[in-house]
Amino acid sequence: MLTYLHVKNLALIEEEEISFKDGLNVMTGETGAGKSIILGALSLALGQKADKSHLRNENEDAVVEAVFTVDNEEQKEKLKELAIETYDDEVILTRKITEGRATAKINGETVPAPKMKEVGDLFLDVYGQNEHAVLLKKARHLNLLDEYDRDRILPLKEETKKCYEEYKKLFEELEKENKDESERAREISFLEHEIEEISSAALKENEDEETEERYRFLQNGRKIFESLSEVYNLTSDENAAGQLGRAMMSLSRVSDLSKELTDLYASLSDAEGILSDFNRAASDYMQSLTFDEREFRETEERLDLINTLKTKYGRTIEEINSSLAEKEKRLDELNNFDAYLLKLKSDTKTAEDKLNAAADSLSAARKEAAVRLSKEMITALSDLNFLDVRFEMDFKELPSPSANGKDDAEFLISTNVGAPLLPLKDIASGGELSRIMLALKTVIAKRDDKNTLVFDEIDAGISGRTAQAVSEKLSAVAKAHQVICISHLPQIASMADEHFLIEKSVQDGQTVSMIHPLSEEERNEELARMLGGAEITDAVRENAKEMRRLAKERKKEL
């Protein structure tokens, strides 16, 4: 779960630290106080795109740091798959934004922002304002169903995708082969030319490197000879060797007078021997150096041929030979075209049958899951003050399977007795869509290993008894998951396990947003503000205390 959030120099926030608790965490405040900035900061910590417009003070860095406690073994395994280690069962996500760039770190190590998003997705499910519009998009309904029963459905989806890609590859190959005889004849002629070009070169392993080395040597033969001649002259009898000989003769006259002089004479004698050996070797090597114009031209032509083949068929000799094998295989297919085409049709049909079987299995699993999802949704919607509700998923079959199977599905709902089941987009209002999405999130959360659910104004468009029902549903979900909720309804705030107030004030001529947890007395005062608006009377305060007392009793019942 999310235990700590540090925000610095971001939008209206100068610097704030928030310690979240288990259960239901509710954030309230006046409109425009900066409630959604907290959610925005959290989104940045999870890898959302950032730019310098987020900076409160352009001369300072903005920092967002989120600390998650990991007590779920499945999450730990998934983190290991992403090469992320936990330290004391914690993972720290840090985002720093400067005027020029943004950096992302996990446990102090710099990572790409997409990886930070992958890690964040293991912990959080964020439901922002207007996300209920997802329900108006029929194409998203199937994804929600797949998420509901992902342990069973996702492996079937992967298998279907794999089968589809194999079928598509073979189908496209079969389509490509539907060409006339003259076109095949042209391809055969071209392949024969390419095969002859590569085969006649008779390339050997590592020949390119050896030929290039020999070519460089031959190309620089004169330079080598001139340099070595100069060295030989400098070390010959007329120069270094002669000087060394005279030095030995001079030293020999006194070398027997002390051990030290004897040792010096021996060292000088060794040097003379080494220099003499070097001169003989250099002389022999120079005598062996001959520039053969014919060999140079042949080497140059061979290197040109190898490089030409590399340009056309592969960057290395290994790739060129691999290309030759593919072309020989293709030529054999075209020379025996009828047998090849018959096998290709058979393979395509087999792949199509496998795809259909995989799509059937996926569809069966989805339909079975849809029945369970619908039952759970009816219960969840009833808890959210949908009194006479029916909920189903309608399936139609696509003309042919895709990588996502063969299902075309959407949610249907009826909210009144006797009313027909219709698509959500045709009957649901904004407030109803918020509750339907909340029901979906809570139903899916039962099967989810994510610890934290974040709701930004899930209560938009609702009030009264419905608001109470939503507050109770959030409190019930918070028994199994940490819930962070930005709200403007006192019914929800009264059910909070931890209540935070976000306030806006002016400091040093600048507007800042601040957030802090409320004591029990402060909670009652904030509830009174939410209930009473501009004027908070004693009656409103008493009403707030009563609401809080009833909320505590209801939480015990839940």
Over 408-439, what HEC string results?
A: EEEEEEECCCCCCCEEHHHHCCHHHHHHHHHH
Q: Are 491 and 470 in contact (CB under 8 A)?
A: yes
- CB atoms under 10 Å from CB of 253, counted, come to 9
Top CATH class of 2-129+421-557 equals: alpha beta
Residue 47 pLDDT: 79
Q: Are strands 124-127 and 452-456 parallel, antiparallel or unpaired?
A: parallel
Radius of gyration of the chain (CA): 40
Stronger pLDDT, 382 or 253, i.e. the higher one: 382
Q: How far is residue 390's CA from residue 192's CA, in Å, rounded to a whole number?
A: 69
Q: Which of 46-55, 164-173, 228-237 has the highest mean pLDDT?
A: 164-173
Mean pLDDT of 123-129: 73
Q: To which residue do tokens 């009030």 refer?
A: 463
With 70 as the cut, is the pLDDT of residue 180 above it? Answer: no
- CB atoms under 10 Å from CB of 341, counted, come to 14
Q: Where are the alpha helices (DSSP H) in 314-336?
A: 317-335
Stronger pLDDT, 72 or 109, i.e. the higher one: 109
Indicate the pTM of the whole model: 0.64
Mean pLDDT of 188-192: 83
Q: To which residue do tokens 């030409």 refer?
A: 308
Mean pLDDT of 284-306: 79
Q: For residue 339, what pLDDT band results from cuts at 50, 70 and 90?
A: confident
With 80 as the cut, is the pLDDT of residue 378 above it? Answer: yes
Residue 450 pLDDT: 64
Residue 400 pLDDT: 92
Stronger pLDDT, 178 or 376, i.e. the higher one: 376
Mean residue pLDDT across the chain? 84
% of the chain beyond a pLDDT of 90: 26
88-107 pLDDT tens trace: 889 999 988 887 688 889 99
Q: For residue 131, what pLDDT band results from cuts at 50, 70 and 90?
A: low
| Domain boundaries defined on the chain | 2-129+421-557, 151-363
Residue 239 pLDDT: 73
Residue 519 pLDDT: 93
Q: Which residues contact 456 (CB under 8 A, 6 or more apart)?
A: 35, 36, 39, 126, 127, 128, 129, 486
Least confident range of 15-24, 263-272, 447-456, 494-503: 447-456
Amino acid of residue 391: F
